[in-house]
Amino acid sequence: MIISIASGKGGTGKTTVAVNLALTLMETESVYLLDCDVEEPNAHLFLRPRLEGSAKVTVPVPIVDEEQCNECGRCGETCAFNAILPLGKHVLTFHELCHGCGGCALLCPTGAIREEPLEIGVVEWGHAGSISHIHGRLKIGSPLAPPVVRAVKKHAQNRSLGAVSIIDAPPGTSCPVVASVSGSDFCLLVTEPTPFGLHDLTLAVDMVRELGVNFGVVINRAGLGNGGLVDYCRAENIPILARIPFDRKYAKCYAKGGRLIEEFPEIRKILQDLWHAVCVSAERV
């Protein structure tokens, strides 16, 4: 079972839900926690895993031998990201724009283009108690997060059969989020009852519907704001699977890197109920 935890808006509580759900489930399930927010992974701050290994993530980028170039220009025409620019026999490459599709090398009729791996990040793994923790870290300056996200998921893929995998996704609805949520059995959209939270939730709902992933909403900081969020969920027939109340003591615990379920039994109960609701929802499909 793969559960991704996403949100439109940042800072709604994805990592809080992901980490505490993992800690709640570790008593009864084999749990994998995949932190796919590779631009700023933070689940490890709460789980404090012992790291056991790491692997580089690379994308293939083009290297051009201008001697062999026949100036056909196909490499430049095929690149959707303008990462290769043929100017006569002089061919410029922009590796930070390259998505590593290999199209230029494939289409080059003279074999003037070969590919070299460019390091864009790293996958690290380890354990926090019985929880298997895997996260990715995008190299500073590299703009290409999705291959690192996919590398995190690939590392877990064969090992986590029969386990519960919890994917902590990045905020937003862009490519790294799509890469994180794709292929999940269920997606929890964590939001807050504010106009901003609601606005970005609607974007996230459009995204998960497009991906065909079954989903439900978790309201964090419940009690804040207004009723717009609940009205929206009701009108769209979206199940609200859990409500985490707004309370300063939870924020304090989070801010010092604490684990909510260890300090507040009511949170453990909320997450146990959430897990049951997810299982029921997932089975209904």
Partner 1 sequence: MKIAVTAQDKNLDSEFDSRFGRCKYFAIVDLDTEECSFTQNEATIALGGAGVKSAQFLAGCGVSAVITGHVGPNASRALEAAGIKVFIMESGTVRDAIAAYKEGALTQVSGATTDSHTGLNT
Coil, strand or helix: which one is 99? coil
Give the single-character DSSP code of 49: P
| Binder of partner 1 out of 56, 90, 249, 276 (CB under 8 A) | 90
Query: Per rule CB under 8 A, is residue 273 in the interface with partner 1?
Result: no
For residue 42, how many C-alpha atoms fall within 13 Å in the half-sphere facing its CB?
A: 16
| Binder of partner 1 out of 42, 63, 94, 228 (CB under 8 A) | 94
Q: Kindly indicate which of the ranges 21-29, 34-42, 76-84, 166-174 contains the residues binding partner 1, using the contact rule CB under 8 A.
A: 76-84
| Binder of partner 1 out of 10, 53, 65, 81 (CB under 8 A) | 81
Report the C-alpha gap between 14 and 7 in whole angstroms.
7
List the beta bridge partners of residue 190. 218
Query: Per rule CB under 8 A, is residue 211 in the interface with partner 1?
Result: no
Residue 79 Cβ vs partner 1, minimum distance, rounded to whole Å: 8
| Binder of partner 1 out of 82, 130, 174, 202 (CB under 8 A) | 82
Chain centroid to CA 83: 25
Residue 208 Cβ vs partner 1, minimum distance, rounded to whole Å: 23
Query: Per rule CB under 8 A, is residue 83 in the interface with partner 1?
Result: yes
For residue 76, how many C-alpha atoms fall within 13 Å in the half-sphere facing its CB?
A: 13
Non-local (6+) Cβ contacts of 96 within 8 A are 141, 142, 143
The values of phi and psi at residue 194, to 5°, are -120, 160
Query: Per rule CB under 8 A, is residue 163 in the interface with partner 1?
Result: no
| Binder of partner 1 out of 97, 118, 279, 282 (CB under 8 A) | 97
Report the C-alpha gap between 131 and 121 in whole angstroms.
23
Q: Kindly indicate which of the ranges 61-69, 74-82, 213-221, 275-283 contains the residues binding partner 1, using the contact rule CB under 8 A.
A: 74-82
Q: What is the dihedral angle through the alpha carbons of 273, 277, 283, 284, rounded to the nearest 10 degrees?
A: 150
Non-local (6+) Cβ contacts of 63 within 8 A are 93, 113, 114, 115, 116
Q: Kindly indicate which of the ranges 58-66, 78-86, 123-131, 197-205 contains the residues binding partner 1, using the contact rule CB under 8 A.
A: 78-86
Touching partner 1, residues 23-62 (CB under 8 A):
none
Query: Per rule CB under 8 A, is residue 174 in the interface with partner 1?
Result: no
Residues in contact with partner 1 by the rule CB under 8 A: 76, 79-83, 85, 87, 90, 92, 94, 97
